[in-house]
């Protein structure tokens, strides 16, 4: 093909000889149109936000895969979608097809393309959901009220389920923990003394928009999270969410977020802190520190589980790979004036005395793997 011949829509090309944006040289894409006035080809690259306008001299034609060619030798939209997505997809004339294609490419690559993920509005979701019905019978006449009912039904059907992969949900859960425990103030998010934030405000943060988080996704994560990290509620007509413990935010108040324990209460039989043997020498010298070693200010509390390490009821309060358990004399510490609290997921928390819980409140310390008792030290 000579440089004077017109390129067909769907033609696969490589960008060459660019002087203003040489970093795009070598990129491959497809011709999606031609601007007669400017005499420029519109070329779309994978994951590009909009087509590039390029001269014919800046395009090198590449051979199209023979199995995907139609009867006249052009690459059809359906073939293009099949090739890029690696799975069948019916052609769609809507402007959203290219966005869906980029999303498909990102998923096929084995990772979530955060920079190019598309957050669709409810109207867009409804349009996509209703479109097949309209295409089946273009001659059907639908009244305004019937159309609104169909749109509402389509949105409700879409919103009642989550279509994110498990890996994507884990990323949303991590983002929620970061925001609700540590970064709400930095992101300009209004957070109440009890830790609750308006869910719509949280979902409007760019971090969660890029992850395509919705209320349905967050509700599912809250309901199924094995550590019960989050709590949702409706307050004054607003859907709210909070992390139930683990905060470093100073604007969250213990008495508002947590249940304070009193000596008159039925106290947990156990109060166990999970840690690692490599820290034992420092713990024996300084006690348990708020935030742990080298993380001052990272957390507001020292965390404990209310059950023994072997108890299956332990869902939070210690990491599963801890190799050491320190048992606390809870009543003794409380009698001495140390305040303890309990979170919604039963984790026990304290700020200790001046940010530390000293060894004088330890009952024992045990190597979880070997059962060796490290404290108290026998004579």
Residues of the chain with pLDDT > 70: what percent? Answer: 69
List Cα–Cα distances, 208 to 122, 135, 215, 227, in angstroms: 16, 33, 11, 21
| Residue 103 scores a pLDDT above 70 | no
**Mean per-residue pLDDT, 154-163:** 51
Angle between the N-to-C axes of helices 166-177 and 215-224, in degrees from 0 to 180, rounded to the nearest 10: 90
**Per-residue model confidence as pLDDT tens digits over 15-65:** 898 887 777 788 888 888 888 778 888 888 876 667 888 899 899 998 866
Cα–Cα dist 259/186, whole Å:
27
* Predicted pLDDT of residue 106: 40
Angle between the N-to-C axes of helices 97-108 and 77-85, in degrees from 0 to 180, rounded to the nearest 10: 30
Q: What token pair was written down for 268?
A: 């947990």
Closest CA to 129 of 98, 165, 101, 159: 159
H/E run at residue 98: helix 97-108
Cα–Cα dist 60/374, whole Å:
72
* Predicted pLDDT of residue 197: 97
Q: What token pair was written down for 343?
A: 């979170």
Closest CA to 344 of 272, 242, 267: 242
Residues of the chain with pLDDT > 90: what percent? Answer: 48
Per DSSP, 178 falls in state I
Cα–Cα dist 122/126, whole Å:
6
H/E run at residue 54: strand 52-54
In the chain, the domains with their CATH numbers are 12-104 (no CATH), 119-134+144-160 (no CATH), 166-243 (1.10.10.970), 258-375 (3.20.170.30)
H/E run at residue 80: helix 77-85
Which are the contacts of 324, defined by CB distance < 8 A and separation ≥ 6? 274, 275, 276, 277, 279, 280, 365, 366, 367, 368, 374
**Per-residue model confidence as pLDDT tens digits over 208-226:** 999 999 999 999 999 998 8
| Residue 239 scores a pLDDT above 70 | yes
Cα–Cα dist 221/134, whole Å:
34
Which carries the bigger pLDDT value, residue 32 or residue 176?
176
List Cα–Cα distances, 194 to 26, 218, 258, in angstroms: 54, 19, 8
| Residue 278 scores a pLDDT above 90 | yes
Percent composition of the chain: helix, strand, coil (DSSP 3-state, to 5):
35, 20, 45
Q: Show the DSSP H helices in 324-366 as ranges.
A: 330-335
**Mean per-residue pLDDT, 60-82:** 55
Contact 328, 287 (CB under 8 A): no
List Cα–Cα distances, 35 to 43, 54, 250, in angstroms: 11, 10, 57
List Cα–Cα distances, 213 to 3, 71, 124, 373, in angstroms: 47, 43, 16, 46
* Predicted pLDDT of residue 65: 60
* Predicted pLDDT of residue 320: 80
Q: What token pair was written down for 326?
A: 């320190």
**Per-residue model confidence as pLDDT tens digits over 310-324:** 887 766 778 888 999
* Predicted pLDDT of residue 71: 44
For residue 242, the cross-strand partners are 231
Q: What angle do CA 39, 45, 49 make, to 5 degrees?
A: 95
Q: Is 154 helix (H, G, I), strand (E, B) or coil?
A: helix
Q: What token pair was written down for 97?
A: 């097809």
The CB density around residue 117, as the number of other CB atoms within 10 Å, is 17
Sign of torsion, CA 307 291 217 199? positive
* Predicted pLDDT of residue 64: 61
């Amino acid at each position: 093909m000579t440089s004077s011949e017109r390129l067909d829509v769907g033609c696969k090309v490589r960008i060459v000889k660019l002087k203003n944006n040489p970093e795009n040289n070598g990129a491959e894409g497809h011709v999606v149109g031609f601007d007669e006035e400017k005499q420029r080809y519109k070329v779309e690259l994978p994951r590009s936000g909009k087509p590039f306008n390029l001269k014919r001299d800046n395009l090198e034609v590449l051979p199209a895969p023979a199995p995907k060619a139609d009867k006249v030798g052009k690459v059809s939209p359906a073939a293009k979608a099949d090739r890029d997505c690696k799975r069948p997809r019916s052609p769609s004339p809507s402007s959203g097809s290219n966005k869906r294609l980029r999303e498909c490419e990102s998923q096929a690559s084995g990772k979530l393309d955060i920079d190019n993920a598309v957050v669709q509005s409810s109207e867009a979701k409804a349009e996509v959901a209703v479109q097949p019905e309209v295409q089946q019978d273009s001659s059907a006449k639908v009244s305004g009220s019937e159309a609104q009912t169909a749109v509402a039904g389509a949105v409700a059907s879409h919103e009642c389920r989550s279509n994110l992969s498990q890996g994507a949900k884990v990323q949303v859960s991590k983002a929620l923990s970061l925001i609700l425990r540590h970064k709400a103030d930095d992101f300009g998010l209004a957070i109440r003394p009890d830790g609750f934030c308006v869910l719509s405000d949280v979902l409007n943060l760019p971090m969660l928009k890029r992850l395509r988080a919705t209320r349905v996704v967050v509700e599912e994560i809250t309901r199924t999270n094995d550590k019960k990290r989050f709590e949702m509620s409706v307050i004054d007509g607003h859907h709210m969410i909070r992390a139930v413990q683990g905060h470093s935010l100073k604007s969250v108040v213990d008495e508002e977020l947590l249940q304070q324990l009193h000596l008159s209460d039925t106290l947990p039989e156990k109060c166990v802190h999970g840690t690692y043997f490599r820290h034992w020498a420092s713990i024996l010298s300084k006690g348990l520190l708020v935030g742990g070693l080298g993380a001052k200010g990272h957390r507001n509390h020292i965390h404990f589980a209310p059950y023994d390490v072997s108890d299956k009821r332990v869902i939070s309060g210690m990491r599963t790979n801890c190799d050491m358990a320190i048992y606390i004399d809870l009543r003794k510490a409380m009698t001495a004036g140390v305040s303890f609290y309990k979170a919604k997921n039963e984790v026990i928390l304290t700020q200790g005395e001046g940010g530390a819980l000293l060894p004088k409140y330890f009952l024992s310390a045990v190597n979880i793997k070997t059962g060796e008792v490290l404290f108290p030290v026998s004579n």
